[in-house]
A and B are shown apart, each in its own frame.
Chain A
Amino acid sequence: MSTISRDEVAHLAGLARLAVSEEELEKFSGQLDVILDAVARVGEVAADEIPPTSHAVPVTNVFRNDEVREGLSREQALRSAPATEENRFRVPRILNEEA
């Protein structure tokens, strides 16, 4: 049961900011189909009374006390940034691709 179209793969690639070539679109949609088919087999055994599971362990309510903990110094935080300015992370023009 082929489930993912070439257009959908292209759309997802766009959302994920991945440059995917024409050949790759072809290749990936075939590969993703195989993956989706494999995952879909879980649905064959899951009956209606089995709720969808997102977490493997039955744990709830893991909370932290609202107490300040030392984080990174500004130097540490900015050290790996490709570019900085005025103690801030410098990023390229934001509206480029949306304009």
Chain B
Amino acid sequence: MTAVAEIMDYDEVLRNFDPVLGLEVHVELSTATKMFCGCANEFGAEPNTRVCPVCLGMPGALPVVNGTAVESAIRIGLALNCQVAEWCRFARKNYFYPDMPKNFQTSQYDEPIVFDGHLDVVLDDGETFRVGIERAHMEEDTGKSSHVGGAAGRIHGAEHSLLDYNRAGVPLIEIVTKPITDAGERAPEVARAYVTALRDLLRSMGVSDVRMDQGSLRCDANVSLTPKGSTRFGTRTETKNVNSFRSIERAVRFEMRRHAALLNEGAEIVQETRHFDESSGETSSGRRKEEAEDYRYFPEPDLVPIAPSRDWVEQLRGTLPEMPWERRRRAQEQWELSDEELRDLVNAGALDLIAATVDAGASPSEARSWWVAYLTQRANERGGELASLPITPEQVARVIELVNEGKLTHKLARQVVDGVLDGRGGPDEVIAADELEVVSDDSSLQAAVDEALAAQPDAAEKIRGGKVQAAGAIVGAVMKATQGQADAKRVRELVLAACGQQ
């Protein structure tokens, strides 16, 4: 083991070096079936229950390409402003690893289905940064291994490993950026913003679940440093296992600081994969890449080439939904947001959720209020993102509707939302289970009003004398007596009526 490398102060890194980034993102498509066989593509099924001779690599089994996966690949390429190949092939990438039962991965080599595009990424201050896309190609995911006998399920020190092949053969799209050379001090932020923008884009297209926590969106970050004034890229490292947006930013920043410290001492950067540790925020050495990887790619003989006709490509272009950046522009206009307000909503990951809530029938201001205030608070308490809260925009819209109909007070509405977040069903189910509906039955309310007036004769007298603002105390007492389940507006009407003020 080498000693833990010193790291350089970030400002000093920037005074001496220019960072170069390359980001490889793997996206699992949310097709019904796998890439080359009809097994269900499903997260979380019982181990080895979504397998067949093809995805288990049994002798003689023949793959057939999933047409929907090809469509998704082309659509992703179009959304990323890429060219679509006129003709391309699959290739075998040969290596041995137990998570890959065929002993090769069916992938694409020098003929990716889409190439040469870009994605415009909005940074935290609203500035747009263009990230070039080198290519995106189709391939298949591997099985999932768990390691037995090592510390905390780690592969190091494990005695043996167990394989579940449900994920083997799930369609993957690998999206590779061109080298990002001009991000400078903002390189870590650009890396985070790019993957976030890609996630938003893929989610709006409905081609993937894009859940970093479940591995349906994975990012490998290549980092190297070029000394100021030089044009040659330095040796790069590839950090894997980065599974949140924030971690991408931290990992890139850490690698920049580590490389700089080593280069400063005259040491060499080892070309290797590195693992990011969420808790320490540091990377550690993984597999060395001493020899260039030798995968002996060759064209896949069992699959015929793909030649997307231009008609088909144009037809697929027509299926692209409104892109997130278009949606943002439209939201800003329709909801009359300032640039800062828009940026805050985007950074909070709230914009698409609010838009979907508006689409489900809520007013923009009510939708915004729920997502930005109460739900953001709940998300923070859970330490997660807004989008991963277990409540849908439709459910939020339903709660808003019930409030507007007077069936829920704001207090009750929050209780209903909490019930949904706790996994107790939709709003209507929570209301029914907890009997949360507003008490608007006048006879039971009248009794409570009479009681409150009798208990506070001074206030009652003032109201009778025309000081209607004194009604607040009586309304408060009734709300307390009904445990917040009464419709406050109706209570006020009853109080005023009882005192001859209506």
Contact = CB atoms under 8 A, between A and B. Distances in A.
A94 B65 contact: no
A78 B48 contact: yes
A60 B145 contact: no
Contact of B307 (A57, A60, A67): A60
Nearest to A63: B67
B87 A95 contact: no
B56 interface: yes
Interface residues of B, number: 57
Interface string B453-482: 000000000000000000000000000000
Contacts of B55: 71
Contacts of A78: 48
Interface string A53-81: 01101011111111111111110011000
Contacts of A89: 48, 98, 162-165
B306 interface: yes
B155 interface: yes
A92 B148 CA distance: 10
B287 interface: yes
Given A55-B301, A93-B161, A72 B66 contact: no
Contacts of B32: 66-68
A93 B303 CA distance: 33
A22 interface: no
A93 B306 contact: no
B294 interface: yes
Contacts of B53: 72
Interface in B55-74: 55-56, 64-70
B37, B38, B308: which has the most chain A beta carbons within 10 Å? Answer: B38
Nearest to A92: B160
The 3 residue pairs across chains A and B that have the minimum distance between CB atoms: A69-B38, A63-B67, A71-B52
Interface of B: 31-33, 37-40, 46-53, 55-56, 64-70, 87, 89, 94-98, 145-148, 155-156, 158-165, 287, 294, 296, 298-299, 301, 303-308
Interface of A: 11, 15, 17, 54-55, 57, 59-74, 77-78, 85-95, 98
28 contacts: A15-B95, A54-B299, A60-B87, A61-B304, A62-B65, A62-B303, A63-B66, A63-B67, A64-B38, A66-B33, A66-B66, A69-B33, A71-B50, A72-B52, A74-B46, A77-B56, A77-B165, A78-B48, A85-B162, A88-B47, A88-B48, A89-B98, A89-B162, A89-B165, A91-B161, A93-B161, A94-B155, A95-B158
